[in-house]
Amino acid sequence: MRPGAATVGAVNGAALLLGLTGLASTLWYGVDEPGNALAFGALVVLGELARWATAPGTGTPPAAEGAREREPAPLAAAGALAYALLGQSAGTATTHGVLQITAVVGAAGLAGIVPHLARGHGPGLDHFARRVLTVGFAALCFQPLYNSGAVVAHLGQGPWYALFLLLLLTLTALCDAVLAALVLRARTGFPYGPLLRDELRALLGIGSAVCATGAVMALGVAAAGLWALPVLAVPLLLTQVSYRRYAAVRTVNRQTMASLARATEIAGCTPPGHARRVAALSTAVGRELGLSGPELTVLEHAALMHDIGQLSLVDPVAGGATALLPAEEQRRIALLGGEVVRRTGAAASVAVIVERQADPYREQPVSARIVRAVNAYDDLAGDGAGAALGALERLRLGTARDYHPDVVECLARVLARGGAAGVTSVPPG
């Protein structure tokens, strides 16, 4: 069995069991307050239809995607959470329970993603399972307390009640972050801590907007009825549009970096695919070392651009293998590359990594250590597991000065797990 498959299977199985139980209960006892169920179900469907599309075959978002992929359907998430925290509708107490909530959210979510599946851009099963589990968690925390009268008796219907909803939504969001990091850890093998930090950081962006909108929707419907839903959905839709534009800018930025990196290949300075392989493997090693979020983005851009200094050379390096050059020549090419990167308008932190990739590792920042080691590995590895093992052994022999021992060992672990797409892996041990 693949490592982590049991964890992923347990999460998806729990979501399936909860959803089927809710559906069976709703079909058996009937739908309480069908108007509310229809309205919130339609909101979830609309939110899923307006989700950001995921490219076919991509189960895990790249590091640069950030909050965009962590909540691809914010309106659907907010609507589902609002239904879970709905205690009244236009001043009348509601009677729907936890199982009906999970049934409505699950059925509406499935209905909303069918068009995406038909186009081959459907979301991953993990995200849908988390949605069902987190909504069920929020409903289980709220509905029994509210229906028993304990919440109103102790907090009333004023600001303390609103604060209670926000606190409950915050707890739900934290549980979702923990669950998302756990599933991603099981699928990728990356350290849990950096993955959890990424998820928690995302809560400060679109996550906070989802939680706030969910609470406001629940309060608005309680006071004004279902007519509040379309009005309160507009701000989150506008926020989603803003995030879409932000994501487009980041995508263009990354594509620009990748195009500049290919210039060395087109000029014959480096082998085809070298920059892409170094970037993919550097990102994997960075995650293994505990880097996250913006650090990984900077690392990826620097890895893509690490050989750009070769364009300034009169005579190209044989095979583009800078790892085989004398230390002074490596440093000169790195400084030329840093100057080129600065002229492209890239972040100064990217240029610093490119410039310092040839320094002794004790003087380098972590990202520069990673780029240097991974670049040397790709220069030396060639084709086949035998050459890859030899390249890794040469890196280990160079840990006295050239390559940081922790980086080399993290690289070995990543390669033993299969490396990154397009990178030659080595057998364990």
The candidate with the shortest Cα–Cα distance to 334, out of 320, 318, 352, is: 352
Reported confidence tier of residue 62, pLDDT bands at 50, 70, 90: very low
Residue 121 shares a structural domain with residue 149: yes
For the chain, how many structural domains are there in total? 2
Residue 113, pLDDT > 50, answer yes
Beta-sheet pairing, 88-89 with 92-93: antiparallel
- Judge contact between 366 and 289, C-beta under 8 A: yes
Per the model's pLDDT, the better-predicted residue between 399 and 371 turns out to be: 371
> pLDDT averaged over the chain?
83
Residue 245 shares a structural domain with residue 304: no
CATH value at residue 331: 1.10.3210.10
Residue 52 shares a structural domain with residue 195: yes
Residues near 327 by Cβ (< 8 Å), separated by ≥ 6? Answer: 358
Q: Which DSSP letter does residue 89 get? A: E
The first and second tokens of residue 271, run together, are 């082998």
- Most confident option among 84-88, 194-198, 359-363, 386-390: 84-88
424 is a domain residue: no
Average pLDDT, integer, range 282-291: 89
For the CA atoms of 167, 173, 177, 180, what is the dihedral angle to 10 degrees? 150
The candidate with the shortest Cα–Cα distance to 299, out of 399, 369, 391, 403, is: 369
297 is a domain residue: yes
422 is a domain residue: no
Q: Phi first, then psi: give them for residue 89, nearest 5 degrees.
A: -135, 110
Residue 425, pLDDT > 50, answer no
- Judge contact between 174 and 201, C-beta under 8 A: no
pTM of the shown model = 0.78
Reported as a single tens digit per residue, the pLDDT across 408-421 is 999 998 888 776 54
pLDDT in the model for residue 13: 92
pLDDT in the model for residue 369: 92
Residue 35 shares a structural domain with residue 151: yes
Residues near 322 by Cβ (< 8 Å), separated by ≥ 6? Answer: 307, 310, 329, 330, 333, 358, 375, 379
Residue 172, pLDDT > 50, answer yes
pLDDT in the model for residue 58: 36
Residue 217 shares a structural domain with residue 138: yes
Residue 124 shares a structural domain with residue 35: yes
106 is a domain residue: yes
Residue 160 shares a structural domain with residue 271: no
Q: How far apart are CA 278 and CA 422, in angstroms?
A: 10
**3-class state of residue 88 by DSSP:** strand
Q: How far apart are CA 256 and CA 251, in angstroms?
A: 9
Residue 313's domain comprises: 267-416
Residues near 134 by Cβ (< 8 Å), separated by ≥ 6? Answer: 172, 173, 175, 176, 179
Reported as a single tens digit per residue, the pLDDT across 18-49 is 999 999 999 999 999 999 999 999 999 998 88
Reported as a single tens digit per residue, the pLDDT across 383-410 is 555 677 888 888 888 887 888 999 999 9
Q: How far apart are CA 140 and CA 98, in angstroms?
A: 6
Residue 426, pLDDT > 80, answer no
Residues near 270 by Cβ (< 8 Å), separated by ≥ 6? Answer: 264, 307, 310, 320
258 is a domain residue: no
153 is a domain residue: yes
236 is a domain residue: yes
H or E element in which residue 321 lies = none
Query: CA-based Rg of the chain, rounded to a whole angstrom?
Result: 25
Residue 364 shares a structural domain with residue 225: no
Q: HEC states along 239-264?
A: HHHHHHHHHHHHHHHHHHHHHHHHHH
Residue 225 shares a structural domain with residue 286: no
| CA–CA distances in Å: residue 119 to residues 113, 207, 251 | 10, 27, 22
Per the model's pLDDT, the better-predicted residue between 236 and 411 turns out to be: 411
Residue 307 shares a structural domain with residue 358: yes
Q: What is the DSSP string of 163-228?
A: HHHHHHHHHHHHHHHHHHHHHHHHHH---HHHHHHHHHHHIIIIIHHHHHHHHHHHHHHHHH-TTH
Residue 117 shares a structural domain with residue 195: yes
Q: How far apart are CA 136 and CA 134, in angstroms?
A: 5
H or E element in which residue 292 lies = none
427 is a domain residue: no
The first and second tokens of residue 112, run together, are 């909303």
Q: Which of 200, 218, 249 is the last residue of a domain?
A: 249
